[in-house]
Amino acid sequence: MLIGAQPGGSIAHVDGDRAKATKCSSKSPTRFRRLEEGSSRRRHLFTVAQAAAAGIPASTLRSRAAAGRIHRVFRGVYSFAPPPFDSYSTWLAAVLACGPETLLSDRPAAALHRLVPAPPLPHVTVAADGPHRLDGIVVHRRSVAPCDRSIRHGIPCTSPARTIFDLAASEPPDELERILVVAESLRILNRRRLDELVAANPGHRGGPNLRSVLGPGPVFVRSEVELYFLRLCRRAGIEAPRVNSPVSVETRTFEVDFCWPGRRIAIEVDGYAFHGGRSRANADRDRDQALAIAGWTAVRFTADQIRDEPAEVVRRLRLLFQRPR
C-alpha cells in the first residue's frame, strides 16, 4: 500500500539515481576513446591528470588496469598499449610521471641522441621543486637553461651539449671521449655551448674530464679502431695528428687516416669496415707508393694490432717519432 500510495516517492528517487549512474557509465567508453585518440601522439601514454581532465576518475583507471584494459607504466602514467614497453615509451612515461618541465637526461638522453646504447633505467632532470624520487626512475634535480632543452622523437630531453656535460661527472675519460667523438661525427655537438657550460660551472665534477678530452678542435673518426689509435698516440706522448685529412702529392690528393705534415708521416689504420677487398688493397698500395716517392713515411697498423697489442703499437710509435726530421 505504501508503494502504491506513493508512486512518485522514494522508489522513484532511487530509480533516478540508477539512471544517472547508468548515463555516466555510458559516457566512459566515449571519453576513453577520445583519451586514446589523443594518446596516439604520445606513444599511447596518458597521465592520471589527463584522464581527470577528460572526466575519467582515478577509480575507473584502477578498475580498468585491474581488468588489463590499460597498463600502468609508472605512478600516475598508464598506457593503452600492453607491455613490454620499448625504450622510447619508457622514457616518455618517465618524463610524464615527473611533471611539467621534466627532461630525459644523462645516459638515456645520450641514447636518445644515438651516442650510447640504451641503459636499463630512465634518468630525468627536474626543477628544484620537482619530485625527489619515483620508483623505477632516477631523478636529478638541476637547473637547465632554455637553450639546453630539446625534443627528440617527441620526448623532451637535454640537448647533446648539456647531456655530455651532465655525463662528464660519472663517465670515465675514455668513454667520455668516445661519446664526444660520436657526437662530433654525427654533427650534433655544439662545442661552443659545451665550453660555456664548463666555464660557467667551475666546481662541476666533470669539468676536469671534459677539459682533458675536448682538445683544441673537433676530431672526426670513422670507427672505434681509429678512436683507440688516437688514445695510443696520446699514450705514446707524440703530438696530436690530423685525422682523416687530405694530403696532396704532385697532382693527386689522398685522404689519410692520420698524418703529421711537419714530419711527413702518414699512418693508416686497416680496420675491416673501411679497408676491405682487392680493389681497396690495390688502391692502398698505390697511395703508399706515391707518398713514399714524395718523401712521406707511410706506416700501416691493423685493427688486431691496435686492439690486441697496444703496448707494442705505442713502442713503435715512439720509435717512429724519435727519428730525426
pLDDT tens-digit readout, 180-221:
888 877 889 898 999 999 999 988 998 888 887 776 655 667
Are the CB atoms for 94 and 137 separated by under 8 Å? yes
pLDDT, average across residues 103-126 = 96
Separation of alpha carbons 211 and 109, rounded Å:
22
pTM above 0.75, yes or no: no
Specify the pLDDT at position 220.
Answer: 65
Separation of alpha carbons 46 and 52, rounded Å:
11
User: pLDDT tens, 220-254?
Assistant: 677 778 888 988 998 999 998 988 889 998 889 99
* Least confident piece of the model among 21-25, 80-84, 129-133: 21-25
pLDDT, average across residues 19-32 = 56
Q: Which residues contact 323 (CB under 8 A, 6 or more apart)?
A: none
Are the CB atoms for 123 and 108 separated by under 8 Å? yes
Closest CA to 240 of 271, 269, 217, 223: 217
* Least confident piece of the model among 56-60, 153-157, 177-181, 211-215: 211-215
pLDDT, average across residues 259-283 = 78
Are the CB atoms for 230 and 219 separated by under 8 Å? yes
The pLDDT > 70 percentage for the chain reads 87
Class of domain 224-322: alpha beta
Cβ-defined contacts of 80-85 (< 8 Å, 24+): 80/36, 80/39, 80/44, 80/45, 80/46, 81/43, 81/44
In the chain, domain spans: 32-82, 87-214, 224-322
Closest CA to 57 of 31, 19, 75, 23: 31
* Least confident piece of the model among 6-20, 160-174, 310-324: 6-20
* Least confident piece of the model among 29-38, 50-59, 132-141: 29-38
Separation of alpha carbons 262 and 187, rounded Å:
29
The pLDDT > 90 percentage for the chain reads 59
**What band does 271 get if pLDDT is binned at 50, 70 and 90?**
low
Separation of alpha carbons 75 and 94, rounded Å:
9
